Amino acid sequence: MNACIFPQTRGICEHPARIPDGDPASAIASHRKSELSPAFEAFHTDVANAPDPAALVRLASALDGLWLHDVATPADAAIDHRISDAADALTRHLLRLSEAELGPPPVAYAWIAYGSQGRRELGPGSDQDNALVLADGYRAAQHGDYFARLADKVCNALAACGFVLCPGKMMASNPAWRLRSSDWASLFHGWITASDRHQARLAGNFFDLRLVAGEAGLLLPLFATIGTDCPRHDSLLAHWIANAWATPPALGIFRRFLLDAAGKLDLKHSAIIPLVELARIHALSAGIAEPTGTLPRLQAAGGQRWLSAAGSRELVAAWQFVCRLRRQHQRRALLRGQTTDNLIDPDQLSPGDQEKLRNVLHLLTLHRRALRQIYPHMPA
Confidence tier at 80 by pLDDT (50, 70, 90): confident
**Separation of alpha carbons 17 and 287, rounded Å:** 19
**Separation of alpha carbons 168 and 148, rounded Å:** 18
Q: What is the pLDDT of residues 36-63, one digit of tens each?
A: 788 899 999 999 999 999 999 999 999 9
What is the pLDDT, as a whole number, of residue 198? 87
Mean pLDDT confidence for 118-138:
95
Strand duo 343-344 + 178-180: pairing: unpaired
Q: Is the pLDDT of residue 29 over 60?
A: no
Confidence tier at 379 by pLDDT (50, 70, 90): low
Residues of 207-226 as b/e, b for ≥16 C-beta within 10 angstroms?
bbbbbbbbbbebbebbbebb
Q: How large is the angle between the packed helices 63-71 and 38-48, nearest 10 degrees?
A: 160
pTM: 0.88
Q: Is the pLDDT of residue 373 over 90?
A: no
DSSP state of 269: I
What is the pLDDT, as a whole number, of residue 6? 35
| Residue 355 identity | E
**Separation of alpha carbons 287 and 193, rounded Å:** 14
Mean pLDDT over the full length of the chain:
89
**Separation of alpha carbons 315 and 294, rounded Å:** 10
Helices (H), the chain: 24-32, 38-48, 53-60, 63-71, 82-102, 115-118, 140-160, 181-193, 197-203, 220-232, 235-246, 267, 273-285, 294-301, 309-335, 351-374
What is the pLDDT, as a whole number, of residue 16? 32
Confidence tier at 378 by pLDDT (50, 70, 90): low
**Taking a C-beta distance cutoff of 8 angstroms, is the pair 279, 302 a contact?**
no
What is the pLDDT, as a whole number, of residue 74? 66
Mean pLDDT confidence for 184-199:
92
Please give the share of the chain, as a percent, with pLDDT higher than 70: 88
- CB-side exposure of 323: number of CA atoms within 13 Å? 24
CA dihedral 368, 373, 375, 377 (to 10 degrees): 110
CA 335, distance to chain mean position in Å, is 25
